[in-house]
Structures are given as structure tokens and as C-alpha cells.
Amino acid sequence: MIPTQQFGRTGHESTLTLFGAAAFGSVTQDEADRTLELLLQHDINHIDTAASYGDSELRIGPWMAEHRSKFFLATKTGDRDYQAAKDSIHRSLERLRVDQLDLIQLHNLVEPEEWEQAMGSGGALEAAVEARDEGLVRFIGVTGHGVTIAAMHMRSLERFDFDSVLLPYSYPLMKNAQYAADFEALVRLCQERNVAIQTIKSITQAPWGDREQTAATWYEPLRQQADIDLAVNWVLGRPGLFLNTVGDIDVLPKVLDAASRLDARPSDIQMDRLIEQREMEPLFA
């Protein structure tokens, strides 16, 4: 059984692994429905999708008539100005076939110019706050990729009291000293404010580079169950974090299996050996 913990200040007891519905970007409804059964078997109760994840919202929508009450439902808008973000939120509600979202997130808010637009007058944040005031969403979060995102999330939290953040976290990435320092500072702030911390890219083996892409993920994932066990245990062995699963429905069962058998957090020696054996590289540098 996958443990649960409070998702920040929301009051929701979310499973430590959140279903990353980027995996639904280009699957059929039948494939999505089979994945739903897997989620229900593991009692996953939190779905994280985005307007930009291809057909993901459309694949989740048919589940909501029967299963809405089982899931904390989060999506994202990548738009930066007020009107476009407002339209995105309303379109997501229609595609997901719900009257209310649990969490709307400003998606991949990394670049300073985009940050200023989204967070400023007439920006996407105003649309998110309006949607919350109107009861269309309950909570507001911010997400991002890259080695500058932990510091940018700190800046975002200085500007607005977000309910959640989402960013990369893996053993290879934390060998980047600056990113590690920024991540630790962000964690301290989030803990002080009871902000939920969602992590992504936990089972990255390396960027695809010139290799043939054989999974739906935009990085080459670890594939052996024992390797995935180590990576998942390393992330979830740290209290207070959530792990957003993986962007491939065929790799997903292994991540859920690992999360259902959590053990002691692997040592640095074990993780260094894994890096060497699998020639792991951080996705962001």
C-alpha cells in the first residue's frame, strides 16, 4: 500500500506518488481506462495533468462522472496573460468534465520575462485568483523545470502565497551544488509555510541525446525494477515530498510497485553505484 500525507495546507491526504498524467498525452481512451484501473488498485488519489499535455485532459474527463470524489484533481495553464489563462482554465474544466479543480498551477514559470508577465498586472496569476474567488478552483500552485527553478520558486513565493510547488529532484541532479543549495532553501521555506512540494524526473537515466526514443518520456527512464526501487526510495525516503510518477504508461506500473514497497532510503554509496552502472546523467545542467 502506498502511504499518504497531507498535501500542504489543502487538508487533502494525498498518496506519496501522484499520477503524472503527462503519460496520457497520446494514448487511446482504452489505454487510459486500463491505467485508471491500475491507479484504483494502488489507491492513487491525486491526478496531475496540464492543458498542454496533448489529449491528457480529454482522457481523464470520462472518468470524472464516476470517480471525481476519489481524486484530488490538478491541472496547469502555460499561458502568461490574464485572458489566455482564464480561457485555459475554463477549457480545462470543460475537457475534464468537472465544475471545480482542486489545484490550478502556473506551468513552467522559469524565464524572468515570462515570470514578470504572469505575476504582474493583467497576468495569469490574476486569472487563477479570480477562478479561486469564483469557486472554479480551490488552490493555486506553480511549477517548473531546469536548474534555476528552485530559486525562481523562492521568488514566486515572495510575490504570492502559492499552495504548492513542483520541480525536479533526483540524486544525480542534487550533485549540482547550486541547485542543491537552492532546493534546500526552497524546502525550508515551504515547510515554514506548509506549501506542498511535488517532485518530478525522479527516474531519469539520461537525456535521450542521439539515442532512439523508446518511451513516451522526454528523457530516457530507468527501466529495471531494482533501479527504479532505488530512485523512488531515495526521493520518498525524504519526509514531506511527493513524487509525480512518470510520463509513460508502460513504465508507470514499476514506479507504483516501488512506491508500494518503500524501504530505507538508499545510501550515497548505493546511489553512486547506480549512477556508474547505468551511466546516469542529470536531465538539466
The 10s digit of each residue's pLDDT in 163-172 is 999 999 999 9
Residue 81: what are its φ and ψ, rounded to 5°? -100, 160
Q: How far apart are CA 128 and CA 16, in angstroms?
A: 26
> Between the CA atoms of 198, 110, 283 and 216, what dihedral angle is there, to the nearest 10 degrees?
70
The 10s digit of each residue's pLDDT in 66-99 is 999 999 999 999 999 999 999 999 999 999 999 9
User: What CATH number labels 4-278?
Assistant: 3.20.20.100
Degrees to nearest 5, angle at CA 173 with 171 and 178: 120
% of the chain exceeding 90 in pLDDT: 94
pLDDT tier at 203 (50, 70, 90 boundaries)? Answer: very high
The 10s digit of each residue's pLDDT in 11-23 is 999 999 999 999 9
| pLDDT of residue 124 exceeding 90 | yes
The 10s digit of each residue's pLDDT in 35-65 is 999 999 999 999 999 999 999 999 999 999 9
pTM to 2 decimal places: 0.97
User: CA-CA distances (angstroms) from residue 154 to 100, 131, 185?
Assistant: 28, 24, 8
